[in-house]
Amino acid sequence: MEASSYIKREANGRIAIKMGNRQERVMTWTVTMLVALTVLAFLFFDYTGLDLAKAIPETFYNLKTMFLEPALSHFTWGQAFYQVGVTLGLAFLSTILGAGIAFFLALMAASNLSKAWISKTVRIVVAFIRAVPTVLWVLIFAIAAGLGSEAAVLGMLFHSIAYLVKAFSEAFEEVDQGIIEALRATGANWWHIVVHAVLPSTFTYLLSWTFLRFEINFSVAVAMGAAAGAGGIGFELFMASGFYFDLREVGMITYMILIFAIVLEFLSTKMKDRYFPATMK
């Protein structure tokens, strides 16, 4: 790390020596620019017709109605849990398919398991895919497949693959190179190295990253239910807020989504504690 220092004479005659480095300066300028851009964004907002004296009380009233008086009005509890199941199904399908495809692509993206040109090519492609938001991929596939669950799954699948390829390949590159060289010295082929060295060493990380992506896909599936017409609890949330204007139903659906998100986080924590507690220390 390149370090630098400067000397400053204080008013009382003492000399103060302060240390700094390039990373700290870059971080300081980055934070400063972000703050400045945030202030500029607020200055360029269109505040026409905004009456804070009315807006603030109405906002608190709407929040009170949503979260203190939740109720289902346009569908039953059975239908509500069914729609949550649809959302979970979309997230599960895109995650499982994405993890399977990403595993093989990550083997090609890992620099210690693949040729340099193959690794760089895969990394560039997945970086491009990952840079495009999931909702945009869903809308792109909606042009070909039409609005519905197919477009939602394909869009989430595409982005999940790119996300997991990066995570998996980095885990593969952390495998002890000595183990790989020892297996090569015994005459083991590429697939034997993957099965007997790479996979046992990284399986817990692969499982952790896959479950994390499942949590992300559940949140994305809620949004895609409305944006892509994929159904699920996200579509019901869109109908309650944008069509029925039923704040009580919006609050109840929000609570249901929040509860399922907490359950997923709880299961993720239990899985980590049971199957790979050593990696969490």
Q: In b/e form, how buried is each residue of 164-199, taking b as 16+ CB within 10 angstroms?
A: bbbbbbebbbebeeeebeebeeeebeeeebbeebbe
Superfamily of domain 75-280: MetI-like (1.10.3720.10)
Number of other CB atoms surrounding residue 159 within 10 Å: 26
Within 8 A by CB and 6+ apart from 91, the residues are 156, 214, 217, 218, 220, 221
The one-letter code for the residue type at 25 is R
Q: Are 226 and 45 in contact (CB under 8 A)?
A: no
Strand duo 3-9 + 15-21: pairing? antiparallel
Q: Does the pLDDT of residue 281 top 70, yes or no?
A: no
Q: Does the pLDDT of residue 257 top 80, yes or no?
A: yes
Beta bridge partners of 266: none
**Mean pLDDT along residues 15-44:** 81
**Mean pLDDT along residues 11-39:** 77
Determine the pLDDT at residue 2. 46
Q: What's the predicted TM-score (pTM) here?
A: 0.76
Q: Does the pLDDT of residue 192 top 70, yes or no?
A: yes
Determine the pLDDT at residue 1. 42
Q: Does the pLDDT of residue 103 top 90, yes or no?
A: yes
Share of the chain above pLDDT 90, in %: 22
Q: Does the pLDDT of residue 3 top 70, yes or no?
A: no
